[in-house]
Structure 1
Amino acid sequence: MLPPLPPLPPLTGNGHEGAQDSESAQHPQETASTTCALDPAAAEEPVQSLMIGSVPWGKPGALDAQESHQQEQQKQQEQQDAAADNQPFDPDHDGQTVMSSDYKREEGLAAATPLESRPPTGPMVLARLCLHGHANPPSRSQCSDCGAVLNSEPREVGRPRLGTMHISSGESVELDHSLIIGRQPSVSRVMGGAMPRLVQVKSGNDDISRSHVEVRLDGWDVLLVDLKATNGTVLVREGQAPRRLSQGEEAILLNGDIAELGDGISLLFDGLL
């Protein structure tokens, strides 16, 4: 009689789990449906897309709108280039000169926008401002532009133009810079770091010197300076006898003064403060 066989060793793992895995592998559809039935939330959870919805190109129609905007800009640029090409060529225009047509257009725009009667054009000076912002010399108690009473304390502002010089030949020059007037004016030296403007007048008999007189702006004062003219300069002031300036003499001009240079040329100073 043979002895009994020894007991077999136990199987690795759970035999029940192995059976379930085998059944799951054989019936995958049934296993998935069973899982959905056991967990309804898992069945209703949508599958998330890998596309980031916050970026502009991830939104529907974003690329179309961007391309449409770029095409519109390109179309506008082409229209501007075509308008520039259709302008007639002007050999006298250097691209920087202001033409009369441009000046008239700018003049119309300036008329539509009211400006101050005396905008700042010169260096800083001590002034008293009225309620409308007009600058006046500190010694004034009433505004020279609008007549308003000046109650403000003096302060530094840009100096406005100090008046207008009318030449008997018909020209008018604003007094916003110092001037050198003569038959062929020139500047030998610059006073105060500011270059004066040169104003040429006709003199058929050469009675007027090349650089005859200077109209110098000094603070709020307008000075008439004789530049050692050969035939001199006569200052005519209302209520006084005409007076010939000595060579190199400086005289403070008042509103309405007239300077006679010779050859029928005279200078009338109007609107002085």
Structure 2
Amino acid sequence: MWGETQAVILEDAAVQPVDDARVTQAPSGPQSLAEVDDHDSMTIRSLDDFPSASNPLPGGQPEAQEKTVVAVCCPMSHTNPTHRKNCRVCGAPLLGEPQRIPRPSLGWVRTPSGERLELVTPLVIGRNPRAERIQGIELPRLVAVPNGHVSSNHLEIRVEGWSVLAVDLHSRNGTYLRRPGQPPVRLPDQPTVIVSGDVLDLGHGVQFCFEELP
């Protein structure tokens, strides 16, 4: 269903809704991903819609707007979210005016094989991941995990604005968020905010570790 994308953030090892000001909005529009046919019945839900931008850049397409963020730059031209007072890279005070720029990398995720994937596009993770592109919607990168415990389409990683979000795609065995200093929490059926140091555990040693997020 199109409408508001609800994001949750973990605090004190509990899943709680994010304040309205921190919830990413997803505008109305056509379904962005076709349903995924999973004949082994391990995945019982199709991929969630990838949100499209409601206000495309002048003369541009909605996809172009999706790939931009509002940022503040430090004197060294490092880009930062507008809520920060000091640069996330060099620590310098942020005194410039906000401006819309191409979305920078939002960090890295380390796969079970040790490969590091840059978080610049959405990811769909699973034993045999599939997705279909609809015009104007960002195509996700497919990450295959050859493990029978993992569902065909198991997990989606979104990059929205300055946020990295994780959504379990109603996988058979679930996905657990392991955050340092907190007990594991099973991902709910709505986007959950991911921060540096988080580990998403798909079970049987299949883990994805997030590094250098804003």
Q: Same fold (TM over 0.5)?
A: yes
**62, 72, 94: which one aligns with 1:150:** 94
Q: 1:221 to 1:190 in 2, by over 3 A?
A: farther
Question: In the alignment, is the contact (CA less than 8 A) between 1:180 and 1:212 conserved in 2?
Answer: yes
2:125 is the counterpart of 1:184: no
Higher strand share: 2
**237, 252, 255: which one aligns with 2:196:** 255
Residues 120-151 of structure 1: CA distance to partner in whole angstroms, max 9, x if unpaired?
xx712100001111111000111112221111
Greater Rg, structure 1 or structure 2? 1
Q: Partners in 1 of 2:136 and 2:185 — Cα distance?
A: 28
Question: In the alignment, is the contact (CA less than 8 A) between 1:190 and 1:196 conserved in 2?
Answer: no
Shift of 1:197: 0.5
- Superposed counterparts of 1:114-263, under 5 Å: 123-188=67-132, 193-203=137-147, 206-246=148-188, 248-263=189-204
- Secondary structure of 1:210 counterpart: coil
- Superposed counterparts of 1:19-30, under 5 Å: none
- Secondary structure of 1:232 counterpart: coil
Q: Partners in 2 of 1:125 and 1:207 — Cα distance?
A: 37
Q: Partners in 2 of 1:190 and 1:168 — Cα distance?
A: 30
Shift of 1:191: 10
Question: In the alignment, is the contact (CA less than 8 A) between 1:207 and 1:262 conserved in 2?
Answer: yes
Residues 208-242 of structure 1: CA distance to partner in whole angstroms, max 9, x if unpaired?
00111010001100000111111000001122210
Q: 1:125 to 1:177 in 2, by over 3 A?
A: same
Q: Partners in 2 of 1:218 and 1:127 — Cα distance?
A: 13
Q: Partners in 2 of 1:265 and 1:236 — Cα distance?
A: 12
Q: Which has the higher contact order (CA 8 A, sep 6+)?
A: 2
Q: Partners in 2 of 1:166 and 1:187 — Cα distance?
A: 22
Q: 1:178 to 1:191 in 2, by over 3 A?
A: farther
Higher helix share: 1
Shift of 1:264: 1.0
Which amino acid counterpart does residue 218 of structure 1 have in structure 2? Answer: E
Shift of 1:154: 0.9
Which amino acid counterpart does residue 227 of structure 1 have in structure 2? Answer: L
Q: Partners in 1 of 2:177 and 2:133 — Cα distance?
A: 25
Shift of 1:190: 5.4
2:207 is aligned to: 266
- Secondary structure of 1:170 counterpart: coil
Identity of aligned residues (%): 42
2:36 is aligned to: none
Q: Partners in 2 of 1:218 and 1:166 — Cα distance?
A: 19
Residues 14-69 of structure 1: CA distance to partner in whole angstroms, max 9, x if unpaired?
xxxxxxxxxxxxxxxxxxxxxxxxxxxxxxxxxxxxxxxxxxxxxxxxxxxxxxxx
Question: In the alignment, is the contact (CA less than 8 A) between 1:232 and 1:261 conserved in 2?
Answer: yes
Unmatched tracts of structure 1, length 5 or more: 1-121
Number of matched pairs: 149
Question: In the alignment, is the contact (CA less than 8 A) between 1:214 and 1:224 conserved in 2?
Answer: yes
1:80 is aligned to: none
Which amino acid counterpart does residue 203 of structure 2 have in structure 1? Answer: G
Using the size of structure 2 for normalisation, the TM-score is: 0.66
Which amino acid counterpart does residue 144 of structure 2 have in structure 1? Answer: Q
Unmatched tracts of structure 2, length 5 or more: 1-65
Using the size of structure 1 for normalisation, the TM-score is: 0.52
**Runs of 4+ displaced beyond 4 Å:** 188-192
Q: 1:176 to 1:243 in 2, by over 3 A?
A: same
